[in-house]
Structure 1
Amino acid sequence: MIEFVYPWAFVLIILPLAVTLFAPAYKERKSSLKVPYFARLVDVTGEKPQSGAVLLNRNNLQRLLIAFSWLCIVTAIAKPEMIGAPINQEKSARDLMIAVDLSGSMSVEDFTLPKMINEVTSDGNNSNTITDKKQHINRLVAVKQVLNNFVKGREHDRLGLILFGDAPYLQAPFTDDITTWQALLNESDIGMAGQSTAFGDAIGLAISVFEQSNTQNRVLIVLTDGNDTASKVPPVEAAKVAAAHDIKIYTIAIGDPSAIGEEKVDLDVLNEMAEITQGKSFQALNSDELLAVYAEIDKLEPQQFDSLSFRPRVSIHHYPIALFVSIYLLALFVVNLRIRWQLIQQTAQKSSDGVTHD
């Protein structure tokens, strides 16, 4: 399919016709002979004297070539483009922010993973085998492992990362570079944001980051293992502001509800926050439950896409230009060949006349 960027340029096709009709004829002066008996010659021949110029006349083939060449020039000015087949592109329609608690209580080693042992086989190769024994890891290590698996399946989402302790910090703005996001998560460590838990302030920071995004589907996943003790804005009030900005919050409690003090998780507050924002609240006491939580979130928040369809456009205006140049060069070649042929004939005629005279 071909389209023209400047279709109005085809109005120029009538320009040569307008010049032919309204512009004065082109006259070319040529040398002439002067004779002393010009008046007597006029009387004898009966011809009327004309001005010393002749009009150039073209044959039909020349007119056709000139018209076709002008059509090529006008077509190039109109800039034809070849329109390709439609191409559909999909991009993520959602921004997903993950807030991770780095308070001191995340160092508690109450998460378990299957223990891997390294065995040497009979052929001398090493192999990893899963045993019934469990290895204990701290809460942050468990969160990192499960998060890394979680984000691998969300390669089309734009991910952000907030780390919070005494205060929240934006570790990674929204990005579709999953590898960089994982590197920034893995570099985080317990206590690097302080020992307390500023849960509500982390939600406030997420709201401000979401406000700089144009995506309407906004999801915040918050992982915490303790009670809010350092926020300037209570978590429930922050959740109300998040709901006003169409942000859905999923809260994940990874602490022990039976604990006391700062390490105690206020499940009632987490449930209320999720309910206010039309999200959901989860509780994970081990790595298996945490993995199940993310699987559930995958079901609740399937990936959404904005489709963008476009047709590739390739300019082909150089083709009529190349055709015009080819016609011009071919015409020059034919004219030059014709002149040479006439010269050869004239030379042969002179030679034959000389032989006959002798």
Structure 2
Amino acid sequence: MIEFAHPEFLILLPLPLLIIWLAPAYKERKPSVKVPYFARLVDVTGEKPESGAVLLSRNNIQRFFIALAWLCLVTAMTKPEKIGPAIEQQKSARDLMVAVDLSGSMSVEDFTLENNKTVDRLSAVKQVLATFAQHREHDRLGLILFGDAPYLQAPFTADITTWLTLLNESEIGMAGQSTAFGDAIGLAISVFESSETKNRVLIALTDGNDTGSKVPPIEAAKVAARYDIKIYTIAIGDPTAVGEEKVDLDVLQQMSDITGGKSFQALNREELQQVYQEINIMEPQLFDSLSFRPRTSIHHYPIILFASIYLISLSLVSLRFYIKRKRLKTLKSANEVN
């Protein structure tokens, strides 16, 4: 199918007819020969004397080529486009931010992998998050790392491979030893502000209580609720710990309740994996299906046709004059022989 990007230029098609109708005929002065028997010549030929000008005329072939050339130029100006078959694309309908605690307590080795190898909390989180991320191919994932302060490690992206690479590059203590949990929520809110997706989810994972945020976690959760951000909090590690390493489960529960999310507690790798499976069930993947038809401009084809017509016409005119000169030369040679 072909469509015109600028069909308004089609109004120019009758312009040559309008010019022929309104504009006077072109007259060109030519030299003439005076003869004493001009009046007798007029009587013989029956022609009526007029002013010294000749009206040039064109044959039908010339008229056809001129009309076709004008049609090509106007068609090129309308910019014809070839419309291809419909193509469907799937676009993410959810932005999902993951906030990971990198405080010193994440180095405690109290998680066991499938091969019974004991690893620190961050290593277990990385492994489980890798499985979780690979099942979210229709969501845009972001990553915030926090300790003394929060840092945006990865903005929202649909490139899961790059997101996992940035997660694996994170190390315990690289953001400091404390837990600025409330500030991490605040940073997530500011990132979500630039997001066009209305379905917004934050998964916040920590193994300690807030120790120095400028904004308390509860207040940050209230602001998140106003921005329609749903928070899922995950507490990991030993619940009997004391001091900064003790997780404030009540605060995490309140944050989830305020935003319409849910609070979880994971004491080992199996429970952590189960948490992400539950989140997958509660927050199934969303995507928008977009359909479009590719457009390819073909305005150059009328221009090529116009150029071809011009070259062919020029060649035919040159050939015509060449044959005419050759005939005259032949006749002249025959007359000289006679």
TM-score, normalized by the shorter chain, greater than 0.5: yes
Query: Which residue does the alignment assign to 1:16?
Result: 16
Measured in 2, the distance between the counterparts of 1:27 and 1:152 equals: 81
Greater Cα shift, 247-256 or 146-155: 146-155
Query: Which residue does the alignment assign to 1:267?
Result: 249
Q: Report matched runs for 1:201-240 at 5 Å.
A: 201-240=183-222
Q: Report matched runs for 1:127-142 at 5 Å.
A: 134-142=116-124
Match of 2:267 among 280, 285, 298: 285
Measured in 2, the distance between the counterparts of 1:309 and 1:169 equals: 37
Measured in 1, the distance between the counterparts of 2:220 and 2:43 equals: 115
Query: Which residue does the alignment assign to 1:180?
Result: 162
CA contact (8 A) 1:112 1:287 kept: yes
Higher fraction of strand: 1
CA contact (8 A) 1:257 1:266 kept: no
Q: Check 1:45–1:297 CA distance in 2 against 1; reply closer, same or farther (3 A cut).
A: closer
Q: 1:78-126: CA deviations, max 9, x gaps?
A: 22111112222222122211111122221221111133xxxxxxxxxxx
Q: 1:285-324: CA deviations, max 9, x gaps?
A: 1112211211221222222223333222111111111112
SS in 2 for 1:218: strand
Measured in 1, the distance between the counterparts of 2:277 and 2:186 equals: 26
Query: Which residue does the alignment assign to 1:82?
Result: 82
CA contact (8 A) 1:159 1:176 kept: yes
Measured in 1, the distance between the counterparts of 2:253 and 2:141 equals: 24
Q: Check 1:249–1:75 CA distance in 2 against 1; reply closer, same or farther (3 A cut).
A: same
CA contact (8 A) 2:80 2:298 kept: yes
Query: Which residue does the alignment assign to 2:179?
Result: 197
Q: Tell me the amino acid that sits aligned with residue 331 of structure 1.
A: S
Measured in 2, the distance between the counterparts of 1:66 and 1:202 equals: 72
Q: 1:255-306: CA deviations, max 9, x gaps?
A: 2223333322232322222122111222211112211211221222222223
Query: Which residue does the alignment assign to 1:165?
Result: 147
Give yes or no for the alignment of 1:58 onto 2:93.
no
CA contact (8 A) 1:69 1:327 kept: yes
SS in 2 for 1:36: coil
Q: Which runs of 5+ in 2 are unaligned?
A: none
Give yes or no for the alignment of 1:111 onto 2:111.
yes
Give yes or no for the alignment of 1:96 onto 2:88.
no
RMSD of equivalent CA atoms? 2.2
Q: 1:40-70: CA deviations, max 9, x gaps?
A: 5556766542222111122222222221221
Measured in 1, the distance between the counterparts of 2:198 and 2:299 equals: 42
Give yes or no for the alignment of 1:345 onto 2:327.
yes
Q: Check 1:114–1:79 CA distance in 2 against 1; reply closer, same or farther (3 A cut).
A: closer
Q: Tell me the amino acid that sits aligned with residue 26 of structure 2.
A: Y
Q: Report matched runs for 1:311-322 at 5 Å.
A: 311-322=293-304
Q: 1:314-338: CA deviations, max 9, x gaps?
A: 1111111111221222222222222
Greater Cα shift, 282-291 or 45-54: 45-54
SS in 1 for 2:237: coil
CA contact (8 A) 2:110 2:237 kept: no
Q: Check 1:207–1:349 CA distance in 2 against 1; reply closer, same or farther (3 A cut).
A: same
Q: Tell me the amino acid that sits aligned with residue 27 of structure 1.
A: K
CA contact (8 A) 2:237 2:268 kept: no
Measured in 1, the distance between the counterparts of 2:69 and 2:114 equals: 80
SS in 2 for 1:28: coil
Greater Cα shift, 95-104 or 173-182: 173-182
Q: How many residues matched?
A: 338
Give identity over the alignment, percent.
72
SS in 1 for 2:114: strand
Greater Cα shift, 209-218 or 32-41: 32-41
CA contact (8 A) 1:102 1:195 kept: yes
TM-score (norm 2): 0.91
Greater Cα shift, 60-69 or 346-355: 346-355
SS in 1 for 2:234: strand
Give yes or no for the alignment of 1:256 onto 2:241.
no
TM-score (norm 1): 0.86
Measured in 2, the distance between the counterparts of 1:40 and 1:113 equals: 122
Shift of 1:351: 4.2
Measured in 1, the distance between the counterparts of 2:45 and 2:211 equals: 123
Query: Which residue does the alignment assign to 1:302?
Result: 284
Q: Which runs of 5+ in 1 are unaligned?
A: 116-133
Shift of 1:152: 2.4
